[in-house]
């Protein structure tokens, strides 16, 4: 299934909108990390948000990361995206299993926890990255990202995110939307938008029923003039490499590398994002040890 984000403007250019279809991408992440349904939903929502927020960046080399840390059993979720539609992520505890909520839905809020924060880091190619954060509101991800936009970027936004997990634990539907008001938006547009958002079904219901980003956009912004500006493919991509892991090992210092050589004679590092294993034998570690001494 194609995964993509539509970027549009609406309401006489007073609203900017992003709609994402990420069913295949989230299923791929589930397969890589072997997540339980509630962990799949939490990670999938965060990956979907990151994919849309990455496309808000201006420069091709700019990157954005979303860190969600709560007091729930998932502990931490991390997603990284760039302006080209590449996204990756992981959840610290992928095997968390919780009872369903009373309404039969996955309890992402309890899995994430309310006591914690969302941190967004933007690497814009400057000396220091931009770091914004906000306290968690509910742990349901969409509400927390809405709060982040309001508190940290002073940007009125509406965020919808959803992941529907099938009985066999595969991802049946995943996607989301971000709507943001431009500074010149008047109260009439705001009231109309709030009313419309109170009427729409859940994002996963829309994906199941519509299975098309354009139709979802038209549903969410019914009654507003819409101009689609761009459709961008989004994909799960990890940029890990042996060279990067070598640098990580060198960074621990010559003393730690010497311990590895003497005690184990080898090292195995696993990338958190894609679970690829990298093996370093004694000869390899000795070379890195010499580099660390320089």
- The bridge status of strand 117-123 relative to strand 130-135 is antiparallel
- The bridge status of strand 86-91 relative to strand 277-280 is unpaired
Instruction: Give the predicted TM-score (pTM) of the model.
Output: 0.92
Residues 202 and 177: beta-carbon distance below 8 Å: no
Give the 3-state secondary structure percentages of the chain, helix then strand then coil, rounded to 5: 35, 30, 35
Residues 6+ apart with CB under 8 A from 152: 120, 132, 133, 134
**Tens-digit pLDDT string for the chain (294 aa):** 589 999 999 998 999 999 999 999 999 999 999 999 999 999 999 999 999 999 999 888 899 999 999 999 999 999 999 999 999 999 999 999 999 999 889 999 999 998 999 999 999 878 889 999 999 999 999 999 999 999 999 999 999 999 999 999 999 999 999 999 998 888 888 899 999 999 998 888 888 887 689 999 999 999 999 999 999 999 999 988 888 888 888 888 888 888 888 888 888 888 899 999 988 888 888 888 888 887
Domains of the chain from N-terminus onward: 4-236 (3.55.30.10), 242-293 (3.90.1280.10)
């Amino acid at each position: 299934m194609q995964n993509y984000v539509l970027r549009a403007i609406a309401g006489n250019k007073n609203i900017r909108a992003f709609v994402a279809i990420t069913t295949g991408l989230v299923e791929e992440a589930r397969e890589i990390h072997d997540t339980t349904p509630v962990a799949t939903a939490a990670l999938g929502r965060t990956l979907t948000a990151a994919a849309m927020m990455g496309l808000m960046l201006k420069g091709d080399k700019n990157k954005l990361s979303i860190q969600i840390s709560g007091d729930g059993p998932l502990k931490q979720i991390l997603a990284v995206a760039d302006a080209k539609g590449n996204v990756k992520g992981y959840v610290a505890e992928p095997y968390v299993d919780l009872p369903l909520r009373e309404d039969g839905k996955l309890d992402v809020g309890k899995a994430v926890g309310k006591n914690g924060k969302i941190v967004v880091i933007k690497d814009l190619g400057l000396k220091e990255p931009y770091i914004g954060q906000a306290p968690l509101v509910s742990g349901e991800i969409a509400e927390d990202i809405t709060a982040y936009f309001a508190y940290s970027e002073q940007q009125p936004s509406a965020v919808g995110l959803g992941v529907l997990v099938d009985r066999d634990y595969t991802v049946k539907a995943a996607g989301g939307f971000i709507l943001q008001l431009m500074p010149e938006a008047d109260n009439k547009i705001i009231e109309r938008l709030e009313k419309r958002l109170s009427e729409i079904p859940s994002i996963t219901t829309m994906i199941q029923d519509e299975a098309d980003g354009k139709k979802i956009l038209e549903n969410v912004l019914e009654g507003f003039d819409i101009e689609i500006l761009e459709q961008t493919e989004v994909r799960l991509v990890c940029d890990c490499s042996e060279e990067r892991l070598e640098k990580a090992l060198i960074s621990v210092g010559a003393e730690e590398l010497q311990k590895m050589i003497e005690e184990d004679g080898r090292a195995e590092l696993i990338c958190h994002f894609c679970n690829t294993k990298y093996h370093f034998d004694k000869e390899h570690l000795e070379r890195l040890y010499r580099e660390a001494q320089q």
